[in-house]
Structure 1
Amino acid sequence: MTGRSTPDPIGLEVRWDRLAAATDEAATTMLRTAFSTIIRESNDYTVVLMDRRGRTVAESRAGIPAFAALMSSLAELVLRRFPADQWLDGDCVITNDPWIATGHLPDIAMITPVFHRGSLVGFAGTAAHSPDIGGTSTLGATDLLAEGVLIPPLRLFRGGRVEQGVKDLLLANVRLPEEVWGDLEAQAAAHAVCRRRAREFLDDFDETGLEEFAEAVHALADAAMREAIAAVPDGVYRSCLDADGVQGRPTHIECAVEVRGEDITVDYAGSSRQVPFAVNSTLNYTRAYSMYPLKVLLDPATRTNWGSYRAIRVRAPEGTIVNPTFPAPVLARHLTGHLLSCALYQALAPVLPDRVIADSGGAPALRVRFAGQDDDGRPFGLMLFANAGMGASRASDGLSTTAFPTNSGVGGIEALEVSSPLRFVRKELRAGSGGSGRRRGGLGQVIEVHNPTRRPVQMVLLGDREHHPALGLAGGGPGAPARAVLSTGERVSLKSISELAPGASVVISFAGGGGFGDPQEREPELRLADELAGYTIEEDSA
């Protein structure tokens, strides 16, 4: 591209695809070297390559896409603390500050420089969910500092050498130091792949840096998004929704989407004030889970980078559940942030009825953490990432047991059982859970977990959709709500800490997605197919 005023579009695409492949290779490296099942099996991570100013150029196509959407703002803040002229080859900065990184303490973000022929040309970035981050309680905390170790932007490596004091301080404050450090080394291995492939890219195309290429792909992504926005009629489109909230008090989200020409503004004024409970969503997380649903709605085909989001602005009043002030607790921020996709699609349904989907049962996702010791006294921790049903669209039924707007997965049951003493008794589609409609909502699932040990196991549930199920659109019905029931018959709140006694089991029923359209208009052959597959048989309500 050197010396060309207008880049060759085919050559540009070839180069862009090559850098995207580099981030995918780096992601594969992380998956294969990670110690915890959270990364290895559940895909709770992202990998990106950025230009010298920290703006994403290429993003891995697996992992959590909304995380990639906030890596540029993260890098910008890190570069304020560590300016470009202070970086050495082999440096590594980490942080889990929720107001800088991905919104809660368990996610550790990492930034490393890319040097080529002695010059700083860009950065590699990752973020991944750590298996433990300390803290006294995952739900009892009323402020951030009780939720775990807060890491401001710090150098973990300097010139390729471990900053031993930082490592020692971090590992002294977590329960699973071997897994935590193993996952950080897996992130570092992914960065090594990114740096190597970026240098090879520059050598092969005889480039001295990434700036000209970055400007071209940013302009391309920006133009594609602006063209998509311009096709939406100008106006202000509104919606509101309630979540289960905390301690019997629902939380409320107000959403206004303003379309003006090639720009779109999302405003959450009127949403609930922040609460002394972990469901607060920091503004960067709120932005990410507003921008990504709009990206897949308006411009799903163009590969994403920093330019994809330049036309989108997100506002939220300070001190609310979508923009809390420090030190608000934020551990379960996804219980608010994931709901924003529902609010956005409900708002835009009148003008984009052929493109939106009904509410998804996994928006927000239901997470279950098990922790304890096996019969030999060895500690373990296991986070269950499992998926509910997606909402239906005008064109098709919702996908069953499919994550949205996140991209996480439960992974292999065998891997989960190997990493803990727990036994998974069953994992099956939840019949009757999809909302009715001309197009049926996706089915949730039922997972039964048994504790075969002689010791009690702590069980933490972080969920919603217990009292506010996924809503349908255009006359479609709601999906089935979520619930958790012990083998004793006792129902467990989806925001609770309890014990799974020795020999006891818990049955977790994940929510179904909302339906789309009048149920009376569903074609007879589709009704019959649902019945033959067992999808419409109501499950036992116990």
Structure 2
Amino acid sequence: MTEQHDQTGLIDRQIMWNRLISVVEEQAMTLQRTAFSSIVRESGDLSAGVFDLAGRMLAQAVTGTPGHVNSMALAVGHMLARHPAQTLAPGDVLITNDPWLGTGHTYDFTVVTPFFYRGRLSAFFACTSHIMDIGGVYQFTDSADVFMEGLYIPILKLVEAGRVNRTLMAMIRANTRNPVDTEGDTYSLIACNEVGCRRLERMMDEFGLEDLESLSSHILETSRNAVLTEIRRLPKGTWNHVLTLDGYEAPIHLQASLTVSDRGIHVDFTGSSATVRRNINVPLCYTLAYTCFGLACIVSRNIPNNAGSLAPFTISAPEGSIVNAQKPAPVACRHIVGLMLPDLVFGCLRQTIPERVPAESAGVLWGLNVRGYRSPRQIPGDEFTAGVVTTGGMGALPSRDGLSATGFPSGVRGGSIEIFETQSPVIVWRKEFRRDSGGAGRTRGGLGQTIELENGIDQPFLFNASVERVRFPAKGFAGGRDGAAGRLTLRSGEKLAGKGLHVIPAGDRLLIRSPGGGGLGEPKERNRDAVREDLREGLISPDAAKDIYGLMD
């Protein structure tokens, strides 16, 4: 009887766990539907989750990005350190965009709402979204410290006992070029958590729960043990890898030493480049986020993401290194380096379990960030600012081709060109797969894109470039070819740097060629029908089919 009761209890907890995941997914979808920022609404640059009273993440929404989710996993603990649970009341809402206590840069607002059930504090809901403009310098890589990167909000009460902090809202509106959108996004974050609270209340009523303590223990313990079980199946030892990035004024070297033991996996970044004067430095919270994501992709991809499943993964990095930037280092473009960390982790794991590890990917998103005037008058108030996410190719996997034009590892989706064109006079004349950009191999790397832009009026416009893989393309392995390097040029022939603010002259066009992912295995071992299909679809050229893949018919 006891055994049957225990089994019934286990089934009930699993059902409630799944229900909790659906609660936070609805929370995230509310944020995506109500957001003003196109990068949130169209591309899903957000995160949402529910946390226990100790600030430990119990469930995250599938909708969202690893960088937001895994760094937000620490943010609730920071919030509680500043505003302990006993000081919070129903109707309170906390906010911050502190890069070191939130998700790595000031462009992300993180909002935390305490959930009270029948008058008793029972959980916390948290969410994050990217704000399109928070003031500061326009050229992303120009900031020399974090104080140049826009409004910096410490951990504050945005709402207290149901009353919005009007002073803080006025400060937010006054420090952005898009006050309506930024205020709207802030309210969308509040609404997102409110929906989570309502759905959790309904769930607790349905299952007759007084609190989440037992469910929390089950989720965290089960997840941690499941990850440790997977880790203990791995070979034990230490493996090292170095990854070289374009950087800004000089190449950047990322170095990792990965140690697998029965207690977990530890990644040490000693030997990585020092903090640089441009804002591609990374706070440790964001380094942790993408390191854990890279490890989870290989080791525990089928285990839900929460504080328990993340616990066996630990990191260390010297203070002042580019992956452990100290305040007030400039960090607005921390994704430039942070998104490359999964490839660094994969480089270590490839030496011990190559059958699970993909080739290198394009990594960093290739955003179309443009600015200019809507008419020849060029008067204040006549400006436009628009942006849309575009992507490169994912590295080939051991069992299948890499995805083309995908946001891996960020999880951010490519945005709508039609919406981008409604925000500015800039016209996108061409957006297509970039032929031959995926690294050749037994399994092929994903393709990048070719995109062509021109101002629709007889005026120049500004293009803010902040991309990677221009000098150092994604590597192929085991005989696979490298992916194509990215390129930025004008149609007139001038080559543009991968980082910086570029003037696109009137009548000329900007040509963007995003990088492809690396290939895996010898290209001539690729399935012949797959080569023919790639040729038929225009993904590879006839010359590549013949000379690289050895297709003779």
Q: Normalised by the size of structure 2, how large is the TM-score? A: 0.93
Amino acid at match of 2:87: Q
One-letter code of the match for 2:171?
A: L
Deviation of 1:531 (Å): 1.7
- In the alignment, structure 1 residue 57 sits paired with structure 2 residue 58: yes
Contact (CA 8 Å) 1:434, 1:512: kept in 2 or not? yes
Task: Give the stretch that moved more between structures: 280-289 or 86-95.
Answer: 86-95
1:175-254 aligned within 5 A:
175-247=177-249, 249-254=250-255
User: Identity across aligned pairs (percent)?
Assistant: 35
1:106-148 per-residue CA deviation (whole Å, 9 max, x = no partner) reads 1111111111111111111011110101002422111111121
Aligned residue identity for 2:475: L
**Corresponding position: 1:288 with 2:294:** no
Any conservation in 2 of the 1:442–1:512 contact (CA below 8 Å)?
A: yes
Shift of 1:355: 1.0
8 Å contact from structure 1 (residues 93, 112) kept in 2: yes
| Correspondence for 1:509 | 513
- Which of 465, 469, 474 lines up with 1:470 in the alignment? 474
Query: Could you say what secondary structure the match of 2:255 adopts?
Result: strand
Separation (CA, whole Å) in 2 of partners of 1:190 and 1:427: 34
Counterpart for residue 491 of structure 1: 495
Is this contact kept in 1: 2:90–2:116, CA < 8 A?
A: yes
> In structure 1, how many angstroms separate the alpha carbons of the residues matched to 2:542 and 2:410?
28
**Aligned-partner Cα distance in 1 for 2:289–2:221:** 20
Q: For residue 496 of structure 1, give the secondary structure of its aligned residue in structure 2.
A: strand
- Identify if the C-alpha distance between structure 1 residues 189 and 412 changes in structure 2 by more than 3 Å, giving closer, same or farther: same
Cα pair 2:367 2:389 within 8 Å, conserved: yes
The equivalent residue for 2:428 is: 424
8 Å contact from structure 1 (residues 432, 538) kept in 2:
no
Kindly indicate whether the alpha-carbon contact (under 8 Å) linking 1:456 and 1:502 is maintained by their aligned counterparts in 2.
yes
Distance (Å, rounded) in 1 between the aligned partners of 2:93 and 2:542: 53
Q: CA deviation at 1:499?
A: 2.2
What is the distance in 1 between the residues matched to 2:8 and 2:124? 23
Give the 5 Å matches for 1:7-86: 8-86=9-87
Q: Does residue 480 in structure 1 map to residue 515 in structure 2?
A: no
1:457 and 2:461 are equivalent in the alignment: yes
Q: Which moved more, 1:495-504 or 1:299-308?
A: 495-504
Measured after TM superposition, the shift of residue 6 of structure 1 is 7.6
The residue identity in structure 1 corresponding to 2:207 is F
Secondary structure of the 1:245 match is: coil
1:267-416 matches, within 5 Å, as: 267-361=268-362, 363-375=363-375, 377-416=381-420
Residue 10 (structure 1) shift: 2.5
Describe the superposition over 1:326-379 as per-residue Cα deviations: whole angstroms up to 9, x where unpaired. Answer: 111111111111111111111111221121101001x12223321234239544
SS of residue matched to 1:125: strand
Q: Are 1:133 and 1:148, in contact at CA under 8 Å, matched by a contact in 2?
A: yes
Alpha carbons of structure 1 residues 122 and 373: separation in structure 2 relative to 1, 3 Å:
farther
- Please give the per-residue CA displacement for 1:152-174, whole angstroms capped at 9, x wherever unaligned: 11111111211111111121111
| AA matched with 2:369 | R
Moved more, 136-145 or 341-350: 136-145
Task: Give the total of aligned pairs.
Answer: 534
* Distance change in 2, residues 1:216/1:39 (3 Å): same
Deviation, structure 1 residue 5: 7.3
Please state how far the C-alpha of 1:382 moved relative to its aligned partner: 2.0
1:503 CA drift (Å): 4.0
Q: Distance in 1 between matches of 2:297 and 2:145?
A: 34
Q: State the distance in 1 between where 2:477 and 2:8 align.
A: 44
Distance 2:34 2:434 in 1: 34
For residues 112 and 328 of structure 1, the distance between their equivalents in structure 2, rounded to whole angstroms, comes to 29
Contact preservation (8 Å) 1:389, 1:513: yes
Deviations 1:52-78 (A, max 9, x none): 121111111111133212223111111
Pick closer, same or farther for the CA change 1:174–1:357 going to 2, 3 Å.
same
1:187–1:331 distance in 2 versus 1, CA, 3 Å: same
Aligned to 1:519: 523
1:381: Cα distance to partner? 2.4
Specify the alignment match of 1:435 in structure 2.
439
TM-score with structure 1 setting the length: 0.95
Asked if the contact 2:407–2:414 (Cα under 8 Å) also holds between the matched residues in 1, the reply is no
Deviates more, 1:26-35 or 1:169-178: 26-35
Given that residues 387 and 420 in structure 2 are in contact (C-alpha distance below 8 angstroms), is that contact kept between their aligned partners in structure 1?
Answer: no
Which has the higher mean CA deviation after the structures are superposed, 375-384 or 187-196? 375-384
CA distance in 2, matches of 1:200, 1:380: 44
Tell whether the 8 Å contact from 1:438 to 1:522 is kept in structure 2 after alignment. Answer: yes
Deviation at 1:192, TM superposition (A): 0.9
- How far residue 489 of structure 1 moved from its aligned partner, in angstroms, is 2.0
CA distance in structure 1 between the aligned counterparts of 2:6 and 2:286, rounded to whole angstroms: 37
Query: Partner amino acid for 1:413?
Result: I
> How far apart in 2 are the matches of 1:16 and 1:384?
35
| Structure 1 position 157 matched with structure 2 position 165 | no
Match of 2:549 in 1: none
Q: Which amino acid aligns with 1:484?
A: L
CA distance in 2, matches of 1:62, 1:393: 23
Give the Cα separation in 1 of the matches to 2:65 and 2:487.
Answer: 25
Structure 1 residue 187: Cα displacement: 1.2
Preserved contact between residue 401 and residue 443 of structure 1 (Cα < 8 Å): yes
In structure 2, distance between residues paired with 1:10 and 1:226: 22
Q: Give yes or no for contact 2:50–2:126 (8 Å, CA) kept in 1.
A: yes
- The residue number in structure 1 matching 2:123 is 122
Instruction: Give the letter for the 1:342 counterpart.
Output: D
Q: Which amino acid aligns with 2:450?
A: V
Shift of 1:504: 3.5
Residue 315 of structure 1 and its aligned partner are, at CA, apart by: 0.7
SS state of the match for residue 200, structure 1? helix
Divergent runs of 4+, >6 A:
4-7
Task: Tell whether the 8 Å contact from 1:432 to 1:537 is kept in structure 2 after alignment.
Answer: yes
- Higher mean displacement: 375-384 or 280-289: 375-384
Are the equivalent residues in 2 in contact too, given 1:131–1:381 (CA < 8 A)? no
Against the structure 1 CA distance between its residues 158 and 338, is the aligned structure 2 distance closer, same or farther, given a 3 Å change threshold? same
Describe the superposition over 1:355-413 as per-residue Cα deviations: whole angstroms up to 9, x where unpaired: 1101001x122233212342395443222211110000221111111111110012222
| Distance (whole Å) between structure 2 residues aligned to residue 420 and residue 36 of structure 1 | 15
Contact 2:44/2:412 (<8 A) preserved: yes
The AA in structure 2 aligned to 1:283 is L
d(CA) in 2 for partners of 1:59, 1:151: 24
Displacement of 1:454: 4.4
Instruction: Judge conservation of contact 1:368–1:462 (CA < 8 Å) in 2.
Output: no
Does the C-alpha gap of structure 1 residues 113 and 507 become closer, same or farther in structure 2, counting only changes over 3 Å? same
Q: Structure 1 pair 7/489, CA: closer, same or farther in 2 (3 Å)?
A: farther
Residue 112 (structure 1) aligns with: 113
- Residue 538 of structure 1 deviates from its aligned partner by 8.6
Does the CA-based 8 Å contact 1:91-1:160 persist in structure 2? yes
CA deviations over 1:194-240 (Å, ceiling 9, x no partner): 01011111111111111211111111111111111111110001110
